Amino acid sequence: MTNKYMYFIANWKMYGGLNSLNSLNKVIKFSKSREIKKGRLIYCPPYTLLNSFFTKFKNCLIDIGAQNCHQNYEYGPHTGYINPRMLKNIGANYVIIGHSENRTNGETDKLINKKIKSALRSKLKVIFCIGETLAEKKNKKTKSVLLKQIKFGLNKINNNSNLFIAYEPVWSIGTGRIPSIKELEQTIRFIKNKFKKKIPKILYGGSVNPRNIKDLKTIKDLDGFLIGGASQNPKKFIDIVKKTYN
């Protein structure tokens, strides 16, 4: 059982339409119960649903965020992109940056750094994703990979008050496999030790589900979870939250 204030961030990825809104009713009802007093629920749907989610959650404490943003703070001729100021204007308070799926599609540490700076300037809370591939893990490069991602991704960023670091092993996302609890404890401790000033909040992501949450919640240095596929199912999402506190 944990008594910590925890964050539960639902990353819906490229799923969902307007017909998905009714599935949120159970989560809204749950968010108003006494069971969630020490937790914060945050949904990150596709851009197309941000405004609908914002309207849906107006009368409860569930917050919303986006799954990515453009690096430019100023408006400009970037067809098809959305910058952090636009996200803030539509009601988002969080944004996921550096997810491995986007890194695979060409996002560099330098670009991620620009996005984080722009998002923080726009008063968004940043969920900064880091993680190693299976090959990097097998070659015992996990720590060096994470160190590089942190060093360059957070270059010249000194204020960590609006920053979350989500450790997501690339080989764990969507596979049902997670690191051992001992491995996770060591990695989370390694991440925290890299910050001399205020330590950002640390999340774990990668196949988080109602079955493994009982083990994951025992990691004392964690501040919450970034939840992918399981968050699209209201019962599974609620179960994850409940089992964190039971």
- Mean pLDDT, the chain, rounded, equals 95
Residue at 65 is within a domain: yes
Residue at 1 is within a domain: no
The pLDDT tens digits of the residues spanning 127-186 come to 999 999 999 999 999 999 999 999 999 999 988 999 999 999 999 998 989 999 999 999
Residue 34 has pLDDT above 80, yes or no: no
In this prediction, residue 3 carries a pLDDT of 73
- Amino acid making up residue 123: K
Please name the residues in contact with 139: beta carbons below 8 A apart, sequence gap of 6 or more.
none
Is the CA virtual torsion 179, 169, 158, 195 positive or negative? Answer: positive
List, by residue number, the catalytic residues.
99, 168
Residue 1 has pLDDT above 70, yes or no: no
Contact 208, 228 (CB under 8 A): yes
The pLDDT tens digits of the residues spanning 105-117 come to 999 999 999 999 9
Residue at 218 is within a domain: yes
Residue 221 has pLDDT above 70, yes or no: yes
Q: Domain total for the chain?
A: 1
Mean pLDDT of the region 78-102: 97
Mean pLDDT of the region 73-85: 97
Residue at 138 is within a domain: yes
In this prediction, residue 133 carries a pLDDT of 96
Query: To the nearest whole percent, how much of the chain has pLDDT over 90?
Result: 90
Residue 220 belongs to domain spanning = 6-245
- Amino acid making up residue 154: L
Indicate which CATH number applies to the domain containing 207: 3.20.20.70
Contact 221, 188 (CB under 8 A): yes
In this prediction, residue 4 carries a pLDDT of 85
The pLDDT tens digits of the residues spanning 182-210 come to 999 999 999 999 997 889 999 999 999 99
- The span from the CA of 134 to the CA of 141, in Å, is 10
Tell me how far apart the 2 most distant CA atoms of the chain are, in Å.
50
- In a 3-state reduction of DSSP, which class is residue 204? strand
